[in-house]
Structure 1
Amino acid sequence: MHGGTPLTGEFGQRLRHLRDGAGLSQEALSHAAGVSVRALADMERGRTRGPQRRTVQALAEALGLDDGEAANLEKSAAEGRPRRRPATGTAVPVTLALPRDIQDFTARAPALAQLLDLARDADPGRPMVTVVTGQPGLGKTAFAVHAAHGLAPHFPDGQFAVDLRGMDPEPTDPRDALTRLLGAMGVADAAIPADTDDRAGLWRSMVADRRVLLLLDNAADESQVIPLLPGTGTSLTIVTSRHTLAGLESVHRSDLALLRREEAVELLTRILGPERVQAEAQAARDLAGLCGHLPLAVRIAGQRLLSRPHERLGKLVARLAAEGRRLDGLQAGSLQVRAAFALSYRQLPPDSGTFLRRASLAAGADFSPETGALLAGLSYDEAVTCAEELTDAGLLQSDADAERYRFHDLLRLYAAEQTEAEDAPAVRDAALDRTARWMLRRATAAALHFEVDSDRAAPHGDPDPDGAPTGREQARAWLEAERAQWLAALRRAHDTGWHRQVLDTAEAMHWFSDVNQHWEQWVEVFRRSADCARSLADGRAEAAHLNYLAWAYNLCVHDPQAALTTADTALVAARKCGDGLQEGWALGYGAGALHRLGRVEEAHSRLREAGRCLASQTSPQARLAELTILNSLGTLLRQTGRAAEALDIHRRSEQICRTGIPGRTHELMALYHAVTRQQIGNDLAALERWHEAEPPLRQALADFEAAQMPAWIEPARLDLGLVLTATGHPEARETLLAARDGLAALRSPRQVQAADALDRSTAAM
């Protein structure tokens, strides 16, 4: 049928003659046989001299060969296949046996189970690859070795392990790794092709029909791994790397996490024995925490204690608790956390190294690329690139939902060591100053989105207008996400003497603080701003910010005694500079503190005095303050059994709200009106006019929700729930339940009242 075809010679030459005789192009034969065009071209050029029997059979069927022709093609392929080395001779065999398993291996059961399922459900035509990633010290190699030993029975044709030395200055070249793999398969040195692609092709052809397990430990990148991966057959390759190796497609991934506390203690137990750990159970838990639940750190601590059989666990806990010495304490023999981190750090490009160590200066549990860019002196885009590279290297952890990054606490210590060693104090100070100034400007501009005291154009002064938050929702999200950063910036500004910047930022935060009354940090913010006003000898600003501070003591941390002391100080400052507005506010805040302290008559007296003081002022700000004082006076009267008088006062307040105050926005007056409606509803409830009380309370709640004021929403919800309970309304229990949970989230003392009302409601059912 195919006359002229040579009966002898290399497989590639024979295959090409057969294809030409059949009138098929490489593409047509590739499609018919299910073999890639590249693989077919490699065979015909002699780069692949001995393909496996299954491949030859597929080619013979596609070419339409009879039995004799097919047998001759298989014979020429068999002659090109590499021979195994004889058991005797002068050649030294290359062994790539799995490393010794760790007898005290702990945890990782779900990840191990997934690998076992992967091996059991293997598709014979698709080699399996799993990539084990994670930060330094998570035990990636230990996990992979333990898994390989457990999976070995499923791969009877061999298990091979290659250390790719990805963290070395010169990682293992794929060409050299293929030499070792081929040698382990019995290929003589002289039979190993010179070209890397040829070696890869030979390796793939040799494992195509075998069930082998390949462990590629400590990979540097995808280009190092890809030539070593089998192309067909039922094999499993386990790759470990500090990088994500995102370029490897269609692979299973095991991203190892930190141990849970009980797992870390179990690892200590396996190293030290149960008696020693049980004898100091709390110290063992503390030690696990100080090790950050990082397997390498826990193992180091355990092995250190194992070598000191009489040393108490508590002694090592005390040593590690001194944070500056924690990394020094986490070493035992050749195992050192610092060394593990240094391997990765030394491989980083200069910008990424700078980004990593300077990021340790960031405040809070996590940080944004903006913060990292400011500290490292990079552009935003450069910082994002560095952050992603460090995440891939396992040196940072990225947030699943937001573009934010965090350190493992031991890695933060290591990064802090590096910035101490490599960055001069002046450089660190400049980085912190640059970051603080930027953060204060952004925080000030963002907070001004919540200003409702007057008509205001869009806030200005942001250091990056193109990237600035637009609108309240974005501003709120930024201020909440970056709370630790801008608060740290405020501290630095205060301590450095940037008094005016502190005052500007704190003043801008005035209305935003009302939205977030549950933040205890407002005490620190306004304590620092009042101190800065004092340093600037600005009496009016000092009185105002002392009043803000008294508000924070009253409503944010619920410390009425501190609030009273602060309000009295604000009163002195206001009278000294002749500021009647701040005098009225100081009297009002002092009254609120006295009321909370149970000194009701004194509170009543101060509220009356505050009202007279403010009534003598003519400014719109004084009218608003007077409105607040009237509402507070009415509340005090109601709570002392004088609900009818309270209702009269709150009706007067409502009339002021309806009339409006010149120069004040509709939005601001709507908020005051909502507060007044809430008080009217409570007055009517106190008079047991339950059905009349419900509408104003519902309206107040709706207004607060529209204004997105959580600190005002939940108390109003509780007031409504109490009225609904009294009327037997079907929504009562649901409303009380929501109020209880909302007040608990705000850490409000009224959560107790909500819980009690809910209990009574349940008992009555």
Structure 2
Amino acid sequence: MTVRDGTPSTGDFGQRLRHLRVRSGLSQEALSHASGVSVRALADMERGRTRGPQRRTVQALAEALGLDGAEAARLEKSAAVGRPRPRTGPVPAGGGPLALPRDIRDFTARGPALARLLELAQDAGPGLPVVTVVTGQPGLGKTAFAVHAAHRLAPHFPDGQFALDLHGMDPEPTTPRDALARLLGALGVADAAIPAGTDDRAGLWRSLAGERRLLLLLDNAADESQVGPLLPGSGPSLTLVTSRRALAGLESVHRTDLALLRREEAVELLTRIIGPERVRAEAQAARDLADLCGHLPLAVRIAGQRLLSRPHERLGKLVTRLGAEGRRLDGLQAGSLRVRAAFALSYRQLPQESRTLLRRAALAAGADFSPQTAALLAGLSHDEAVGCAEELTDAGLLQSDAAAERYRFHDLLRLYASEQVDTEDGPEVRDAALDRAASWVLRRATAAALHFDADHEQTEPRSDPDPETAPAGRDEARAWLEAERAQWLASLRRAHDTGRHRQVLDTAEAMHWFSDLNQHWEQWVEVFRLSAASARLLGSKREEAVHLNYLSWAHNSCTHDARAALASADAALAAARECRDGLQEGWALGYGAGALQRQGRMQEAEERLREGVHRLAAEKSPQSRLAELTLLNTLGTLLRETGRAAEALDLHRRSERICRAGVPGRTDRVIRLYLAVTRLHIGNDLAALERWREAETPLRQALGALEAAQVSAWAERTRLHLGQTLAALGHPEARTTLRTARDALAALRSPLLAEATKALAALDDAGAATT
């Protein structure tokens, strides 16, 4: 049927549009360009595939065709006839094709995140719809959280609540076109009325959703391009999106980053699954089980389901089974719930390089790792490793440090990644990766540690494996050595175990001065035990004596194990005498004396120290002068502590004269360091003689020099003694000085902390007594 001008009747929009286009002399391409409507959409309209385009689309076409008001109204009327007429009542929440999944009865924790979503729901208005993205690593319970939240928020969205699984981890995730068809169908749009094209489906969905107060749960999203077309453009709706990826490309969205449960929350979840009686009966086993599950909700749930199906099994039995790391992932499965399967879904989606980096990074030592370590293990460049690590972070498989460029695994993910090394790489590839990383890391550790070598000024670049990225200066070197402590120590072990003993000795020797600045590190015992063993295996008696002396120092100063220190010193003394090395003989006598002194064997300690001073005085090398200074100072300290402070002062004045005379072949920086330590001893001698005012000056001089040299262990020791002297003088700086010393000694885990605390308390008591 047509009207008198030959225009098709009102009800046939496609024929009317084609007639108007031809009448205007426009091709589909020309009309597309003028209106902004795609050529494909125009073709679908004219062929009757799209019978009722949106109102704004019709308006754009009318303007491009130059229609007057009456013609534009008739075109709009014909479009309205073909538009779907969805049901007008609210969509039932408990049924329909996209109904919310059943809520989890024993859902636990996540209170702050739920409260935030409730605030967003209450604030949702007719303007910009609210969208929140729920992200996190596998097993954190993103879907469970979103479903629980949707049920809690449902009363705020009476026009419908829809849940759609986007299958983001599948080989072929749901396409936006198919997802839109399901959403339109859930709103009541008949299949025949759903547009063919993705853009038109998205437009219709936004048009209909914009008029309703809807809650939409898009679960398991693959990426931004999948989610974008599904988000309502206007109206008071709220959309929850869950994804293992960060979906950083989505703009104007809120983010809910789920973290691991706290230990008590993990135990609470276990309690809700198996009941409070069993948890109360084995409270410690329940806490241990939560720890073995890494506080990961999926793992805790699997453990709980396993116990629920075995009502008579003790929690301790499962703890024992999971305690064996190699069997932990096997033990964490119950029915269709498997931790390994959850991880595998994400792993299989990764590109080859990212899979390689993920599994090889599990070989890194310590709680976290740098991109450089990952690059060495994976055989990638630094930039490639950074790109892969960021991709893995977006995928929720790694966690990035908030302040530094470092990454960490969840414990169970590390186990899974380690399994993949065994399965995909095998022992030869794994060993090659570990050797490659160990060699590079030890070369850098050696170069970095030499920044602290007080025997020589560092005037030329050291043999760093990559000079362009090498730490520049002591601050950067210290930062690298501290951040990579676990990695270079593991590399040292590997070098020793694989027979690279020269590299072990070179690294440990380079660490000698750096170790003195970090006496609170108990790892020095292992470092020098390995290097002494490597020297012995190389048959070098002199180096064996050197490193046994270092080991004795570590036992004395780092772990305060006097018995072990004496044994190492005696072994060093035997090796030094065998190779007739007077310098190492003197050091061994000195370290042995320190161990004897700690055991209260003062007379024996004094005898060894005097023998060591005599032996060193006969040596002519610059190293012997420095060793003589050390033993003189140590002997003086022993004399002072046994009530012979005047004799101690004479010895320390002798040390001061040696320092002022200088030591040929040694830098001013080294001599200033020895002079500072000597002045510390002089100040303590004077304090022991109650010559408080005389003691203050050398102690202040020592503190300034030691702080400038960044020798924190000695500087804070000096600050403590200065504070005690100032307290004896009634000086107003005493309290501040002692408090600063106490806090710093606590940070260093120094055994002098108790003395500092006692001195500060005594000062406070004295102040209270005078008020």
TM-score (norm 1): 0.92
1:386 and 2:388 correspond: yes
**Counterpart selection for 1:177 from 168, 176, 179:** 179
Label 1:760 to 1:51 Cα distance change in 2 as closer, same or farther (>3 A): farther
Structure 2 matches for 1:216-227, cutoff 5 A?
216-227=218-229
Kept after mapping to 2: 8 A contact 1:135/1:395: yes
Label 1:368 to 1:238 Cα distance change in 2 as closer, same or farther (>3 A): same
Q: Distance in 1 between matches of 2:55 and 2:275?
A: 54
Could you tell me how far 1:338 is from its partner in structure 2? Answer: 0.6
Give the corresponding residue for 1:286: 288
Structure 2 matches for 1:418-497, cutoff 5 A?
418-497=420-499
Kept after mapping to 1: 8 A contact 2:51/2:193: no
1:163 and 2:156 correspond: no
Could you tell me how far 1:49 is from its partner in structure 2? Answer: 7.4
Could you tell me how far 1:70 is from its partner in structure 2? Answer: 10
Kept after mapping to 2: 8 A contact 1:446/1:459: no
Structure 2 matches for 1:204-283, cutoff 5 A?
204-283=206-285
**Counterpart selection for 1:351 from 335, 350, 353:** 353
Give the corresponding residue for 2:333: 331
Aligned AA (2:476)? Q
Could you tell me how far 1:653 is from its partner in structure 2? Answer: 1.4
Structure 2 matches for 1:580-599, cutoff 5 A?
580-599=582-601
Deviations 1:409-435, CA, capped at 9 Å, x for gaps: 001111111111111211111111111
Q: Distance in 1 between matches of 2:727 and 2:388?
A: 57
1:667 and 2:669 correspond: yes
Q: Distance in 2 between matches of 1:260 and 1:474?
A: 35
Q: Distance in 1 between matches of 2:685 and 2:475?
A: 34
Label 1:53 to 1:120 Cα distance change in 2 as closer, same or farther (>3 A): farther
**Counterpart selection for 1:730 from 729, 732, 739:** 732
Give the corresponding residue for 1:755: 757
Aligned AA (1:113)? A
- How many residues of Structure 1 are paired with residues of Structure 2 in the alignment? 742
Label 1:38 to 1:742 Cα distance change in 2 as closer, same or farther (>3 A): farther
Q: Distance in 2 between matches of 1:45 and 1:256?
A: 46
Kept after mapping to 2: 8 A contact 1:694/1:723: yes
Q: Distance in 2 between matches of 1:491 and 1:565?
A: 22
Indicate the SS of the match to 2:350. Answer: coil
Give the corresponding residue for 1:629: 631
Q: Which moved more, 1:184-193 or 1:157-166?
A: 184-193
Label 1:66 to 1:735 Cα distance change in 2 as closer, same or farther (>3 A): farther
**Counterpart selection for 1:561 from 560, 563, 569:** 563
Structure 2 matches for 1:23-42, cutoff 5 A?
none
Q: Which moved more, 1:67-76 or 1:524-533?
A: 67-76
Kept after mapping to 2: 8 A contact 1:10/1:46: no
Indicate the SS of the match to 2:403. Answer: coil
Q: Which moved more, 1:290-299 or 1:176-185?
A: 176-185
1:686 and 2:688 correspond: yes
Q: Distance in 2 between matches of 1:598 and 1:315?
A: 48
Could you tell me how far 1:138 is from its partner in structure 2? Answer: 0.3
Indicate the SS of the match to 2:505. Answer: helix
1:525 and 2:505 correspond: no
Kept after mapping to 1: 8 A contact 2:83/2:193: no
Could you tell me how far 1:462 is from its partner in structure 2? Answer: 1.0
Label 1:514 to 1:49 Cα distance change in 2 as closer, same or farther (>3 A): farther
Give the corresponding residue for 1:126: 128
Aligned AA (1:649)? L
**Counterpart selection for 1:110 from 109, 112, 119:** 112
Could you tell me how far 1:713 is from its partner in structure 2? Answer: 1.7
Q: Distance in 2 between matches of 1:762 and 1:86?
A: 78
Q: Distance in 2 between matches of 1:372 and 1:197?
A: 42
Kept after mapping to 1: 8 A contact 2:37/2:57: no
Could you tell me how far 1:455 is from its partner in structure 2? Answer: 2.9
Kept after mapping to 2: 8 A contact 1:52/1:208: no
Could you tell me how far 1:37 is from its partner in structure 2? Answer: 8.8
Could you tell me how far 1:123 is from its partner in structure 2? Answer: 3.8
Runs of 4+ in structure 1 off by over 4 angstroms are: 6-14, 36-60, 65-77
Label 1:208 to 1:597 Cα distance change in 2 as closer, same or farther (>3 A): same
1:315 and 2:317 correspond: yes
Kept after mapping to 1: 8 A contact 2:36/2:60: no
Aligned AA (1:285)? R
Could you tell me how far 1:72 is from its partner in structure 2? Answer: 7.1
Label 1:49 to 1:646 Cα distance change in 2 as closer, same or farther (>3 A): farther
Indicate the SS of the match to 2:542. Answer: helix
Label 1:444 to 1:38 Cα distance change in 2 as closer, same or farther (>3 A): farther
Give the corresponding residue for 1:498: 500
Indicate the SS of the match to 1:150. Answer: helix
Q: Distance in 1 between matches of 2:38 and 2:112?
A: 42
Could you tell me how far 1:527 is from its partner in structure 2? Answer: 0.7
Kept after mapping to 1: 8 A contact 2:54/2:203: no
1:600 and 2:627 correspond: no
Aligned AA (2:504)? V
Aligned AA (1:204)? R
Could you tell me how far 1:457 is from its partner in structure 2? Answer: 2.5
Deviations 1:621-656, CA, capped at 9 Å, x for gaps: 111111111111111111111212212221221222
Could you tell me how far 1:78 is from its partner in structure 2? Answer: 3.7
Give the corresponding residue for 1:368: 370
Give the corresponding residue for 1:139: 141
Label 1:632 to 1:723 Cα distance change in 2 as closer, same or farther (>3 A): same
Label 1:44 to 1:345 Cα distance change in 2 as closer, same or farther (>3 A): closer
Q: Distance in 2 between matches of 1:37 and 1:264?
A: 58
Could you tell me how far 1:273 is from its partner in structure 2? Answer: 1.2
Aligned AA (2:483)? A
Q: Distance in 1 between matches of 2:452 and 2:473?
A: 9
TM-score (norm 2): 0.91
Aligned AA (2:553)? W
Give the corresponding residue for 1:548: 550
Q: Which moved more, 1:724-733 or 1:465-474?
A: 724-733
Q: Distance in 1 between matches of 2:547 and 2:309?
A: 59
Kept after mapping to 2: 8 A contact 1:94/1:180: no
Kept after mapping to 1: 8 A contact 2:131/2:254: yes
Label 1:677 to 1:38 Cα distance change in 2 as closer, same or farther (>3 A): farther
Could you tell me how far 1:196 is from its partner in structure 2? Answer: 1.1
Kept after mapping to 1: 8 A contact 2:13/2:52: no
Indicate the SS of the match to 1:289. Answer: helix
Aligned AA (1:557)? T
Give the corresponding residue for 2:92: none
Deviations 1:568-607, CA, capped at 9 Å, x for gaps: 1111111110111111111111111111111111111111
Q: Distance in 2 between matches of 1:337 and 1:573?
A: 55
Gaps of 5+ in 2: 25-33, 90-94
Kept after mapping to 1: 8 A contact 2:451/2:458: no
**Counterpart selection for 2:517 from 500, 515, 518:** 515
Aligned AA (2:739)? L
Could you tell me how far 1:58 is from its partner in structure 2? Answer: 13
Q: Distance in 2 between matches of 1:342 and 1:717?
A: 56
Could you tell me how far 1:741 is from its partner in structure 2? Answer: 2.3
Q: Distance in 2 between matches of 1:156 and 1:42?
A: 36
Q: Distance in 1 between matches of 2:312 and 2:80?
A: 65
Q: Distance in 1 between matches of 2:721 and 2:707?
A: 15
Gaps of 5+ in 1: 22-35, 88-92
Deviations 1:700-731, CA, capped at 9 Å, x for gaps: 11221111112112111111111111111222
Deviations 1:281-325, CA, capped at 9 Å, x for gaps: 111111111100000000000011111111111111111111111
Q: Distance in 2 between matches of 1:540 and 1:335?
A: 61
Could you tell me how far 1:38 is from its partner in structure 2? Answer: 5.7
Deviations 1:480-533, CA, capped at 9 Å, x for gaps: 111111101100111111110000000000011011111001011001101111
Q: Distance in 1 between matches of 2:173 and 2:74?
A: 44
